A and B are shown apart, each in its own frame.
Chain A
Amino acid sequence: MSAHGAGAVIASGPSVVRLELVLCSYCDTVHRRVDVASRKTLRCAVCDSPLYRSNGDLGAMLAATVTAVVGFAIANASPLLTLTAQGQQTRATLWRAIVASYDTELPFVSAALSLTLIIAPALELGLLLWVLVPLCLRARPIAFASTMRMLRALRPWRMIEVFLLGVVVAVVKLSGLATALPGWGLFGIAVMSFALAALASFDQGALWRRADEVAR
Chain B
Amino acid sequence: MIRGVDVGLAACHTCELVVNLGGSRDGAEATCPRCHARVRFRKARAGTHVTALLIAAVALYLPANALTMMYTEEFPMRRADTILSGVKFLWQQGSPGLAVIVFAASILVPLLKLAALGFLVVTAKRHSGWRPRTRTKLYRVLEVIGYWSMLDVFVVSLLTAVVQLGRFAHIAPGPAVLPFAGVVVLTMLASASFDARTLWDRGSA
Contact = CB atoms under 8 A, between A and B. Distances in A.
Interface string B1-45: 111110101110011111111000000001111111101000000
A28 B17 contact: no
Contact of B151 (A29, A96, A99, A169): A169
A156 B186 CA distance: 13
Interface stretch (A56-64, A70-78, A125-133, A172-180): A172-180
A106 B179 CA distance: 12
A216 B8 CA distance: 28
A134 interface: no
A170 B197 contact: no
A15 B1 contact: no
Interface string A3-27: 1100000101111111101110111
Interface size range of chain B in the complex = 35 or more
A109 B181 contact: yes
The main secondary structure of chain B at its interface with chain A is helix
A25 B95 CA distance: 41
Given A88-B166, A90-B165, A92-B158, A21 B151 contact: no
Tell which of A29, A180, A212 has the most Cβ of chain B within 10 Å: A29
Given A47-B133, A106-B177, A169-B98, A90 B20 contact: no
A199 interface: no
Interface in B166-204: 166-169, 172-173, 177-178, 181, 185, 188, 192, 196-197, 199-200
Interface of B: 1-5, 7, 9-11, 14-21, 30-37, 39, 74, 89-90, 93, 95, 98, 101-102, 132-133, 136-137, 139-140, 147-148, 150-151, 153-155, 157-169, 172-173, 177-178, 181, 185, 188, 192, 196-197, 199-200
The 3 closest A-B pairs by CB, nearest first: A166-B154, A100-B161, A97-B161
20 contacts: A3-B4, A3-B9, A15-B21, A15-B30, A22-B18, A23-B10, A23-B18, A48-B136, A48-B137, A83-B162, A83-B166, A92-B161, A92-B162, A98-B157, A100-B157, A109-B173, A145-B34, A173-B89, A173-B159, A205-B15
